[in-house]
Structure 1
Amino acid sequence: MEAEAGGVSVAVAIVACTAMTIFYVAILYSPTLIFRLPPPSSFKSFMIRRFVCAGISTVVSLLVCAFILPIKSWEVSYLFSAYGVRLHHTWQAVILPLSLTSLMYAGSFVLKFFSLWSSWAEHEDHGMDLSFNGLRSVFLKLINLTLSVVSNISAWRMYIVAPLTEELVFRSCMIPLLLCGGFKPYTVILLSPVFFSLAHLNHLLEFYMQQDTSLLKACMVVGFQLGYTVIFGSYASFLFVRTGHLAAPLVSHMFCNFMGLPAFFSQKTGMVSVGFVAGVLGFVYLLFPLTSPDLYNDRIDDCKCWHRYCDWS
């Protein structure tokens, strides 16, 4: 998918990204504040209402981008590729970024391994059945756990709806706008996470109101969250610019939401810190090789692409 250089002005790109950010957050409160709908009867109803609002804001953002970006053709394949939605090189866009991201959780994996090891040792001490029937019981527990997660509305928010809508709006829409507006890739990687973090400011009010806590504590908690979103947003933007593939930041987003913050210290064993440091070193060493544009796109020579494959090599 090609774009005309300078086809979007800087002012239009910034205004559009700001409007998308405000709309993405504001629409969440529209059912009660604008349409005066009655409060949802349950938490599930509340979350489903938010899912619908997030979906509407995402579709609107995609349509607005389609009109602003200098797209030469309205064919579906061209539109999708402009947003980083491509079928070719999909396995690379899933496996390689996911493997890279998992290195940051090496300490967490070490901690989990020691936890499982201790659990198995305890079972042996208590004469637990570790035969085929015992393994079958563990397998059935894993299935039940999976089913409980699938039926959990909060899990759908954390692992499906939030990552998908946020990546479509803050990566698929905003990054092409900023690049076509003339911003350099490094600037885009640092600028787009600002919009991403601002979209989480509403958590300050919600945390302050729902937790009945002090404003200072609410600011500290949300401030930490905003710092984390800026760091992750920069990384997700880096993946999107380097690969031009939505799957890359999307699977990383889902994985990070599932894992939480990386474990870098444990009082039980120092191996967690060793694993964390080793993972960070591996992450830094492989960051550019595993995100090399030629792994994700066949056309990187003498072409003008949406995500600057030629300039970002």
Structure 2
Amino acid sequence: MEDTILKELEPLPQISIWTSVSCCFAMAILYVGSLYVWGTKHNRDRDHPSTIKRRFASVSVVMGLASLFVYFFSSEELLERENFPVLLGLRWPGLWQAALIPYALTTLLFLGPIYVNIQNESIRSYLDLDYWRGSFNSIIWLRNLVMAPLSEEFVFRACMMPLILQSCSPLVAVFITPLFFGVAHLHHIAERLSLGVKLSTALLIGLFQFSYTTLFGFYSAFLFARTGHLIAPFLVHAFCNHMGLPDLQDLWQQDLWRRIIAIVLYIVGFIGWIFLLPYATAPYLYDNTLYWNV
């Protein structure tokens, strides 16, 4: 089935690498700039409700502007051949697969941390209706698990990837776009400095954040190209934001046997994720007839 689909497909029309990279750079600048467009008076505390609401508004505008970059700078041949929403990963075919399979694959990667959470009984809170009421009423929760993943994946994946894929091979595209994503997070260095954090500490944290956001960007870009859906990287991004980085201190606070089981699950989950990644993201599973050749 997969071979039949691939034979019927045509490669993407090409645009210059200068055009695609310039557009991506401009989108990254617009996204970061939108967080500070309100001025220092309204950006002193990133967790203040008024700051979050203003940033919700400004990144929403940037999402609209980013889609215009794709529309005006994509190849005319491609725009004639494909519906514009399809370029942005907004389509019905393969939607439920794109929502479920990459999410399930990513939970495998977090098998160890999930086991530790179960041991700490924190997972029981997910069965509490009050937990979900409180979450949806929390603007910080909405920022971290809804608006930030949605806006970042739309701008840095759904709008950048279609342009880069018209200039580079899929493998190169998957490695280029996350660099814009990682660099865009370096603005947190300035935020920490404004809060009185030492320069050396702010730089160290910024470098660490650049590293893991770029690594996640590789995975997210890969998911977008392989599935052809925005929903796949969006849900995975939201899940990763919820889980956070593995808490190794919490791991070592477990008793010996639970700690051994957790470490085994960390390793098994990681190996299983690597092994299943190419199979779980096979383009034919998602009716992906555009970004298929990754």
TM-score, length-normalised on structure 2? 0.87
Q: Name the CA shift for 1:186/1:4 in 2 (closer, same or farther; >3 Å).
A: closer
Q: Name the CA shift for 1:275/1:45 in 2 (closer, same or farther; >3 Å).
A: same
Q: Name the CA shift for 1:172/1:71 in 2 (closer, same or farther; >3 Å).
A: farther
Task: Determine whether 1:26 maps to 2:38.
Answer: no
Q: Name the CA shift for 1:262/1:103 in 2 (closer, same or farther; >3 Å).
A: farther
Alignment size in residue pairs: 278
Contact 1:266–1:272 under 8 Å retained in 2: no
1:290 to 263, 268, 280: 280
2:227 to 212, 228, 243: 243
2:48 maps to what in 1? 43
Question: Percent identity among equivalent residues?
Answer: 32
1:161-216 Cα shifts (integer Å, max 9, x gaps): 111111111101111101112x1111111111000011111100101212x22111
* 2:91 match: secondary structure: coil
2:114 to 88, 109, 116: 109
Output the CA distance in 1 between the equivalents of 2:52 and 2:10.
38
Structure 1 letter corresponding to 2:283: P
Output the CA distance in 1 between the equivalents of 2:44 and 2:144.
22
Structure 2 letter corresponding to 1:178: I
TM-score, length-normalised on structure 1? 0.82
Q: Which protein shows a greater Rg? A: 1
Output the CA distance in 1 between the equivalents of 2:44 and 2:245.
33
Output the CA distance in 1 between the equivalents of 2:173 and 2:226.
12
* 1:29 match: secondary structure: coil
Structure 2: unaligned runs, 5 residues or longer: 1-8
Richer in helix (by share): 2
Output the CA distance in 2 between the equivalents of 1:249 and 1:146.
22
1:256 maps to what in 2? 240
2:166 maps to what in 1? 180
Q: How does 1:189-200 map to 2 (within 5 A)?
A: 189-200=174-185
1:140-172 Cα shifts (integer Å, max 9, x gaps): x81112111111111111011111111111101
Structure 1: unaligned runs, 5 residues or longer: 121-137, 300-304
Alpha-carbon shift at residue 81 of structure 1 (Å)? 0.3
* 1:287 match: secondary structure: helix
Contact 1:2–1:71 under 8 Å retained in 2: no
2:6 maps to what in 1? none
Output the CA distance in 1 between the equivalents of 2:237 and 2:141.
14
Contact 1:47–1:153 under 8 Å retained in 2: yes
Output the CA distance in 2 between the equivalents of 1:298 and 1:21.
27
1:132 maps to what in 2? none
Contact 1:242–1:293 under 8 Å retained in 2: yes
Alpha-carbon shift at residue 267 of structure 1 (Å)? 3.4
Give the root-mean-square deviation of aligned CA atoms.
2.7
Output the CA distance in 1 between the equivalents of 2:260 and 2:118.
13
Task: Determine whether 1:225 maps to 2:209.
Answer: yes
